[in-house]
């Protein structure tokens, strides 16, 4: 290893008075005094959320307004902290979405348990659950932190769908093809 000898110069008389350094420091702080402030004033200003951000898990509708979740409960099973609780429910035959398997009767995500890992989104075969940009969860009681089905759909809204798989399935059945 190369050794670089560094000669330490003794301080000059001016440096020993501290004054040039003090003046330099005062100049720096004065510059910051007038410079624009870095603080983001939070509730009024919001941070820009980057793409791929994992916020609060939400349920989404497809562009036709059908709720995409079929309550297969894969997310409930995969959820590491067991934050999801699904009560499956049947769809009545006169429902426009009657060709779909099931729908959740109740869907609860306990945000005090959720670790925002995104496994529910990854595992979902219906592309029904997404971790979106919502990052702030507040409440006064433990119950306030449990997002029920209605709240989850409110947060989720409608996302575009590339497949419309249940409609295709219905069309295929009507055309005589079971699959």
Partner 1 sequence: MDFSFYFNFPLWVRLPLQGLAVILVLFPLAAACSMAERKISAWMQNRPGPNRTIAPIIAWIPGMGILQRLGIFQLAADGGKFTFKEDPVPGHVNKFYFILAPIIAMIPALTTVAVVPFGAYISSAGQLTPVILADVDVGLLAVFAVSSLGVYSVILAGWASNSKYPFLGSVRASAQLISYELSMTLSVLPVFLWINTPGSHGTLNLFDVVAMQSGVGLRWDSVWFGFTMPVSAFIFLVALFAETNRQPFDMPESEADLVGGFHTEYGAFKWSLFFVAEYCHMIVGSGVFVLLFLGGWNPLPGLPLHLLAGWLHLAGTPLLMGALGIAIFLGKVAAFIFFFMWVRWTLPRFRYDQVMNIGWKKLLPLAIANLIFYALAIALIQK
Cβ of residue 22: shortest distance to partner 1, in angstroms?
Answer: 6
Cβ of residue 136: shortest distance to partner 1, in angstroms?
Answer: 18
d(CA 12, CA 1): 33
Which of 10, 12, 13, 41 forms a contact with partner 1 (CB under 8 A)? 41
Other residues' Cβ atoms within 10 Å of the Cβ of residue 56? 21
d(CA 116, CA 51): 15
d(CA 60, CA 63): 10
Which of 6, 8, 33, 179 forms a contact with partner 1 (CB under 8 A)? 33
CB contact at 8 A, 144 and 86: no
Please identify, using beta-carbon distances, which residue of 32 and 168 lies nearer to partner 1. Answer: 32
The pairing of strands 84-89 and 129-131 is: unpaired
Residue window 70-89: x/- pattern of binding to partner 1, with contact defined by CB under 8 A: --------------------
CB contact at 8 A, 150 and 127: no
Cβ of residue 50: shortest distance to partner 1, in angstroms?
Answer: 23
CA diameter of the chain: 99
The answer to whether residue 25 forms part of the interface with partner 1 (CB under 8 A) is yes
The answer to whether residue 39 forms part of the interface with partner 1 (CB under 8 A) is yes
Q: Which two tokens stand for residue 173?
A: 């059945």
Please identify, using beta-carbon distances, which residue of 46 and 168 lies nearer to partner 1. Answer: 46
**Is residue 119 packed enough to be buried (19+ CB in 10 Å), middle (13-18) or exposed (0-12)?**
middle
Cβ of residue 43: shortest distance to partner 1, in angstroms?
Answer: 10
The answer to whether residue 26 forms part of the interface with partner 1 (CB under 8 A) is yes
Identify which range of 3-11, 20-28, 83-91, 158-166 contacts partner 1 by CB under 8 A: 20-28
**Which chain residues interact with partner 1 by CB under 8 A?**
22, 25-26, 28-30, 32-39, 41
């Amino acid at each position: 290893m190369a050794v670089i000898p560094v000669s330490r110069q003794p301080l000059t008389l001016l440096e020993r008075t501290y004054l040039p350094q003090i003046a330099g420091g005062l100049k720096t702080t004065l510059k910051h005094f007038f410079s624009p402030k870095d603080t983001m004033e939070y509730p009024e200003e919001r941070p820009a959320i980057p793409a791929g951000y994992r916020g609060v898990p939400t349920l989404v509708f497809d562009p036709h307004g059908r709720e995409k979740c079929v309550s297969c409960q894969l997310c409930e099973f995969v959820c590491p902290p067991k934050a999801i609780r699904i009560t499956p429910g049947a769809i009545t035959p006169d429902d426009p979405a009657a060709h779909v398997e099931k729908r959740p009767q109740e869907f609860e995500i306990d945000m005090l348990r959720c670790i925002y890992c995104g496994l529910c989104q990854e595992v979902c075969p219906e592309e029904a659950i997404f971790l979106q940009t919502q990052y702030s969860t507040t409440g006064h009681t433990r119950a306030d932190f449990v997002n029920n089905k209605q709240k989850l759909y409110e947060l989720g809204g409608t996302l575009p769908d590339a497949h419309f798989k249940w409609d295709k399935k219905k069309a295929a059945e009507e055309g005589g093809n079971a699959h």
